[in-house]
Amino acid sequence: MKLTVIGPGRAGTAIHQHACHAGLASTLARTVAADSDVILIAVPDPVVAEVAQAIPLGPLVGMLSGSVPLSSLAPHPRAFVLHPMQTIQADRTDLQLTNCVAGITATDAATAVTANELALRLGMNPVPVAEDVRPLPHIASIFASNLILPALVSAMQVLAAAGIDAQREAILAPLVRRALDNALKDGVTAPATGPVARGDLATVRQHRRRLSLLNPQIDRAYVLLSTALLPLVSNDAAASVAPALGPEA
């Protein structure tokens, strides 16, 4: 299989690294390479359709985007999505996508088979995703990666204010891993813990008083994230702490 990855950014570079490691004849380019069997578009979402239209008919054409509609790969009759559900960092040489899930959407069964085989050769685990439910898996990936960052960064900023930032990994890693393990085990019924789950109004108010003096932005993050937690706790607990999360608290 001759593969061309269009787009030498983070995602395209990572795919190319995996392809080379798997022994595929892969080219990382800004334009289409000649004699490609499969072309993977790894460019920003707003220009996917434009790039697809510039590709001559013939090779199988896919994209990495988890949100762009499959129809954006027109006029290519055999097209697919291979969406790596993993965070990707720039300037790394390790195989960042190993064992992550790749969401697969395709125009037809034969193309889906090829896309699945490509994902497996790249070291990913293909999972079929129907076009009519996209971009929900992408949204889930954003919640599980990008949207966790505000909570973690806030936690590290508070530890820094306490003078123990050097121990942030020792303090936070066990908490994060236990919370993650519990949530994945219990699913959407995972029980919350902490002062909001206990309905501990006094502690929440104490936290907000200290955070408002330390950093109003962190206080706002505390309020937003605690408010998002309310539907996951008992009605009594939510009602108890709600007064401390309002604008006049």
Decide if 10 contacts 90 (C-beta within 8 A).
yes
Pair (128, 151) in one structural domain:
no
Q: What is the pTM of this model?
A: 0.91
pLDDT band at 33 (very low <50, low <70, confident <90, very high): low
Pair (90, 179) in one structural domain:
no
Q: Please write the tens of the pLDDT for every residue from 102-119.
A: 999 999 999 999 999 999
- For residues 146 and 30, which has the higher predicted lDDT (pLDDT)? 146
Domain that holds residue 78: 2-134
Amino acid 248: pLDDT = 66
Pair (9, 127) in one structural domain:
yes
pLDDT reading at 211 higher than 70: yes
Residue 181 within any structural domain of the chain: yes
Per DSSP, helices labelled H in the chain are: 10-21, 48-53, 109-121, 136-144, 149-161, 168-186, 195-198, 201-214, 216-229, 235-241
Residue 170 within any structural domain of the chain: yes
- For residues 222 and 93, which has the higher predicted lDDT (pLDDT)? 222
Of 105, 134, 163, at which residue does a domain stop? 134
Amino acid 32: pLDDT = 77
Q: Cα dihedral angle (18, 22, 25, 28), rounded to 10 degrees?
A: 10
Pair (130, 8) in one structural domain:
yes
pLDDT reading at 249 higher than 70: no
Residue 90 has a CB neighbour count (10 Å cut-off) of 9
Residue 142 has a CB neighbour count (10 Å cut-off) of 14
